[in-house]
Structure 1
Amino acid sequence: MEKLTDLKHGLEETWHSLGEGWRSFRERTSGALTRFTPSTRGKASSEVAAEASAASLAPADFPSANWALLAGDVFEDSDKFVVRLEIPGLDKQDVDIEVRNDVLIVRGEKRYEQESSSGQYRVRQCAFGSFHRSIPLPLPVLADKTSASYRNGVLRIDLPKAEHARGRRIEVRGE
């Protein structure tokens, strides 16, 4: 009976540890996991229906191609925040950036490019369609002075801090 109790206790500890690990993983990645919604811009309804039907019949759709990790960094120095997002496969005109209420909002659309008219996918993990990513900023920024550049699949956004958010160093003078 004692061994059964020990086994039960060990399983409970393992289950708790797994649960904590998943919670931690979700918390750390929740901001980077982004949902892509199918784009219907410029397509006839029959094309959209055909793509949806073909996608549902694909032999290897795991994991879902509607979610993707948009890895990003937020760096801060005394004057600005620098946000870097990895969004390969987009053209700069496919990205829209907005600052609203101390939140950086990045929207975009990754268009589907079919490799060939014959054959089928065996693995399909790339996400396509529209996406929306909100990044809360810890301090107010000057939205009208924000600049952005896109190079080698990396979007860089420089957000100068508002004057009152920068703080001011006060030097102590001696007698």
Structure 2
Amino acid sequence: MLESLKEAGKSISRELGRAWENLSEGWRELLSRSGEALTHFSHSKDKVIAERDSQLPVLPRWSLLAGEVEETDKEIVVRVEVPGIEKEDWQITLDGSMLYLSGEKRFERVTQDSTYHIMERAYGTFQRSIPLPRNVDTERAEANYKNGVLTVRLPKVGDSKYRTIRLS
């Protein structure tokens, strides 16, 4: 009987070790791939008080704004997934080789006689900074927002082709 308990204990220990390793690996990947995408959302003081009075759970203050930066021969293309924001709530700023995205994701409660059981979506104002791999032509930059994805097209400055210079 004691031997079977010891074996069960070893088996449980191995399974817990595997589960912990999987969880740790998931967190490491999340942090390494999405560390820059983790974005703080600020709530106004009045909104936080109203949330507490209206039986809502506390709104999350952090969310992932997943994005990608792609470079072609002629441009840098930045795409960021941010569903639920109106076009007029965006502000896009270029400063040197940095792209700053800021905006506000507004919380709208459709019904007043409901109870939230899960609240994972963050609301409020936010800012995300994205370093660009090259200088861009700010005058020809374009942006659009469709299906919850913001796309910013940034033409590169000058000829970006690789070139070797010989000494004379």
| TM bin (shorter chain) | 0.7 to 0.9
Summarize the Cα distance change of 1:21–1:153 in structure 2 as closer, same or farther, 3 Å threshold: closer
Summarize the Cα distance change of 1:92–1:18 in structure 2 as closer, same or farther, 3 Å threshold: closer
Deviations 1:91-136 (A, max 9, x none): 1111100111201110010011012112221111111101111110
In 2: Cα distance, 1:51 partner to 1:25 partner: 30
Q: Which runs of 5+ in 1 are unaligned?
A: 1-6, 171-175
Per the alignment, residue 50 of structure 2 pairs with: 50
In 2: Cα distance, 1:121 partner to 1:148 partner: 35
User: Of 93, 99, 103, which residue of structure 2 is paired with 1:104?
Assistant: 99
Per the alignment, residue 159 of structure 1 pairs with: 154
Per the alignment, residue 127 of structure 1 pairs with: 122
Please provide the CA RMSD for this pair.
2.8
Summarize the Cα distance change of 1:144–1:125 in structure 2 as closer, same or farther, 3 Å threshold: same
Deviations 1:3-27 (A, max 9, x none): xxxx9xx9xx988997676444312
In 2: Cα distance, 1:98 partner to 1:89 partner: 20
Summarize the Cα distance change of 1:22–1:123 in structure 2 as closer, same or farther, 3 Å threshold: closer
Q: Which runs of 5+ in 2 are unaligned?
A: 1-9
Contact preservation (8 Å) 2:34, 2:66: no
Deviations 1:153-174 (A, max 9, x none): 111100111115x23668xxxx
In 2: Cα distance, 1:30 partner to 1:92 partner: 26
Summarize the Cα distance change of 1:52–1:144 in structure 2 as closer, same or farther, 3 Å threshold: farther
> For residue 76 of structure 2, what is the amino acid of its counterpart?
F
Per the alignment, residue 7 of structure 2 pairs with: none
- Identity value in percent: 40
User: Of 36, 45, 48, which residue of structure 1 is paired with 2:41?
Assistant: 36
In 2: Cα distance, 1:168 partner to 1:21 partner: 38
In 1: Cα distance, 2:69 partner to 2:144 partner: 15
In 2: Cα distance, 1:17 partner to 1:153 partner: 31
Shift of 1:37: 0.9
In 2: Cα distance, 1:16 partner to 1:123 partner: 27
Shift of 1:53: 5.1
TM-score, reference length from structure 2: 0.75
TM-score, reference length from structure 1: 0.72
> For residue 42 of structure 2, what is the amino acid of its counterpart?
T
Per the alignment, residue 4 of structure 1 pairs with: none
The number of residue pairs the alignment matches comes to 151
SS of the residue corresponding to residue 144 of structure 2 reads strand
Summarize the Cα distance change of 1:21–1:155 in structure 2 as closer, same or farther, 3 Å threshold: closer
